[in-house]
Amino acid sequence: AQSVTQLDSQVPVFEEAPVELRCNYSSSVSVYLFWYVQYPNQGLQLLLKYLSGSTLVKGINGFEAEFNKSQTSFHLRKPSVHISDTAEYFCAGRDTGRRALTFGSGTRLQVQP
């Protein structure tokens, strides 16, 4: 069965600093991977997705993620964060043979001035 692990529950960072939010997955089959962002009192919005092909995927708001099959990771990065990036970030995955998404436990990104 697939699982998705987000190693950091909170990541504090100063404005304009780079950030990396970590995500690891376990799956015995091919997998589709997603990053979603949740702003306070809102639903989840898709940031980016990896289906196949290029392992570096670019998303909205300057975020990007790299699929690393050997390390079973899909870390999210941004070179320079803004206060407005403060939110909860969820990594999610789906085995090609399953119908449901499995979500990680979320990482709270707190951008400080």
Q: Which residues bind another protein (CB under 8 A)?
A: 32, 34, 36, 38, 41-46, 49, 51, 88, 90, 99-101, 103, 105-106
91 neighbors 81 (Cβ within 8 angstroms): no
Measured from the CB of residue 103, what is the shortest distance to another protein in angstroms? 4
The alpha carbon of 16 is separated from its chain's Cα centroid by a whole number of angstroms, namely: 19
Nearer Cβ to another protein (15/44): 44
Measured from the CB of residue 46, what is the shortest distance to another protein in angstroms? 4
Quote the CA–CA distance of 101 and 81 in Å, as a whole number.
27
Measured from the CB of residue 60, what is the shortest distance to another protein in angstroms? 12
